[in-house]
Amino acid sequence: MKLSALFENVPDIEIKSLMADSRTKRPDSIFFCVKGIMSDGHNFVDQAIANGAKAIVYSEPLDHMRDDIVYIKVKDVTAAFNAVADAFYGYPSHDLLMFGVTGTNGKSSISCIIRDIMNEIEPTGYIGTISIEYGNVKLPPLLTTPNIDDLHGILRDMVDAGMKSCALEASSIGIEQGRVDAIDFDVAVFTNLTHDHLDYHGTMEKYFLAKKKLFDHLKPDAIAITNVDDPYGMRIVKDCPARVITYGVNHKADYQVTKYQLLADKTRITLKIGDMEYEIETNLVAKFNVYNLVAAIAACHSKGISIEMMLPQIRHLKQIEGRMERIDEGQPFNIIVDFAHTPDGIEQVCQFASAITPKGKRIIAITGSAGKRDTEKRPQFGEILDRYTDMIILTEDDPRDEDPIEIAHEIAAGIKKTNYIIIEDRYDAIRQAVELADPNDTIIILGKGDEKFIYREFGREPYEGDDAIAREVLHKYYFTQEGEENEEK
């Protein structure tokens, strides 16, 4: 694409790519001097030029300028980056029915449910914490909400692959950093707001206001779907220019659950929409998945998909990897893997574990807390696990450059009565839980889900994922030991 097609009064040079990370080689690119959390792109212009930048978009004075480089001064680099990326990739979000999902918990689950329901109607992609998926393509995740260039590029690939819709997780940090400013959302969903990311936002109010930006910027013919049971649910759509639709269990809503039954392997729901009532059965479990499912139903129904068309699919939704994933290899005890990494998320998993664990049997929890992230919630994790569980194994979880043992002791500060041990290696921690479990006990493995990496001091290190390790440990240690005992008898 010609630079002159993206900016006025510039040379007619060919641009082949966009660049925001000066360390990445991008021949014939435009470098955007974006200000990040830890660094300012204005300080890395020379490196960007060395790696192929032919044009520099900046907003603050630069030390020196070269005659062979085009310099374009703008008021807001992020705004310019959004506009250029959208145009460079051919406005892909305008060619897709775009669902955006934001909130502390439930983003991945709701986005994946929307994807699965919509896929029965038309080809639908997904971008989020779990992966990037469309058609037969499944890629590792980038950020929950990818950076501006990556996001528009992925959407372009989806359009080219024949996708008609996309469900996108919109994180508070992604929204605050303007990564979705140029996305043409048709539906935006709010799940809930609880303690998380306060290391970045500072206060719950600032965290809330970051989420609210998604709804403030919706187009008038878009749809805003909000959880009326959440304290922030109606605030987030205040002054929203789009049509507002509500869902909930405890308060009157457009999509209201009037009755639900939670079972170990399925959930039954009575859903009232206007004058109609629908009896719904799903393989999803736990109360929070009642909210997740109804939010996804509201999102799809609002775009013309009939409830009757959804019902068969809802009964047998795909297992959402690492989200309330039941590991069943034939062992006589429960194993649940969940991505829960907030106080509210952990408590909800604990409540479900309590509901399915017979009286007199134990709940064994494995958890840690991410390094360099919101340290205030660590003792809260301990307090919650102390109330619900019978044995706690504290372990590593994306320690970055913090000591996992020190993080574990900070969690343990909230534990007053429950026995706990610290096992630094996460694999060994899961193995220990499996070896401790008796028939009908429940093991809950929290924090990583299906993630295939652990963040350490020097970046990402490969990791199998809690789900894969749980299965491996069962076959390598539990069933092998059981077989040896049977042979001895």
Binding-site entries for ATP: 103-109
Please check whether residue 197 is in contact with residue 172, taking contact to mean a CB–CB distance below 8 angstroms: yes
Please spell the DSSP secondary structure of 247-277, one letter per residue: EESSS--SEEEEEEEE-SS-EEEEEEETTEE
Please check whether residue 168 is in contact with residue 144, taking contact to mean a CB–CB distance below 8 angstroms: no
Distance CA 284, CA 163 (A): 26
Please check whether residue 52 is in contact with residue 25, taking contact to mean a CB–CB distance below 8 angstroms: yes
Amino acid at 76: D
Known binding positions: 22, 103-109, 144-145, 171, 177, 179
Distance CA 420, CA 418 (A): 6
Please spell the DSSP secondary structure of 33-65, one letter per residue: --B-SS-BGGGGHHHHHHTTEEEEEESS--S--
- What's the token pair of residue 407? 């993080």
Amino acid at 83: A
Of residues 219, 144, 153, the one with CA closest to residue 176: 144
Length of the chain: 489
Please check whether residue 283 is in contact with residue 316, taking contact to mean a CB–CB distance below 8 angstroms: yes
Amino acid at 112: C
